[in-house]
Structure 1
């Protein structure tokens, strides 16, 4: 399973909202500028997150978006599933070799376990404490 820019940028949006949780609405423009991303693209990503109930929009001159619940109640898995769909490393059918099917299921379950046990609060804490390098791989 390859996470596309939809999933990565969606997590960026959600982490920014998490970092400012309780401080009022955050505009997509400010998130886009801070992270050097396209505001137009972020607008396309926020709609499914809002429809899924993960964020709320606030209208007005000082409007923007806020999390619908605390950062420790939203997981990376919640965000990825909304933007990327079901978590599956490969498409397989019941006719596939049982040994291979078991492997794909175990991989899927392992990925889901990591995503579902990592909250937005965890991600923000890793970033703020400078532990983000734990997730970086250099070639």
Structure 2
């Protein structure tokens, strides 16, 4: 899966906002300086984040942005989806009955990549901004096991 700069920068900026807000608005220029992201690019991202109801804007002197709710209640997947970043590893268009092949069929590895997309979505939905800024991401790692096939020579305890 390719996560573009749009998704990565949105998550970086939201984590910065969560860390530095302390209940008062944070100016985008401050986030831009700390995260080394273009201010004009951040303005575009925050317009989408505001429409996605993840941040609130405060106008006037001392204005800036605030999280719309607690950092622990904002999932990383919410941030990525708010900036129109699809979470998928297939080449197929989301919701389209057509596949990714020139013949409109699905490639032989489609189910593999679709499964990966679901795992990524599950992981990003399990991590909040609060987890990121408090250093709890490693605790959220999901271990996926496949019980359908076992390598030769490995038996279940019940075998």
TM-score (ref. length: structure 2): 0.73
Give the distance between the partners of 1:21 and 1:38, measured in 2 at CA: 20
Contact 1:21 1:70 in 2 (8 A): no
Q: Could you say what secondary structure the match of 1:126 adopts?
A: coil
Specify the SS of the correspondent of 1:26. Answer: coil
Q: Which structure is richer in relative contact order (CA contacts within 8 A, separation 6 or more)?
A: 1
Higher helix share: 1
Gaps in structure 2 of 5+ consecutive residues: 93-97, 100-104, 139-159
TM (norm. structure 1) is 0.83
**What is the aligned length?**
127
Gaps of 5+ in 1: 132-139
> Could you tell me which residue of structure 1 aligns to residue 32 of structure 2?
32
Please list the CA deviations of residues 9-39 of structure 1 after superposition, one character each: whole Å capped at 9, or x if unmatched.
Answer: 1111100111134421000001111122211
Q: Which protein shows a greater Rg?
A: 2
Runs of 4 or more, structure 1, over 4 Å off, are: none
TM-align CA RMSD? 1.8
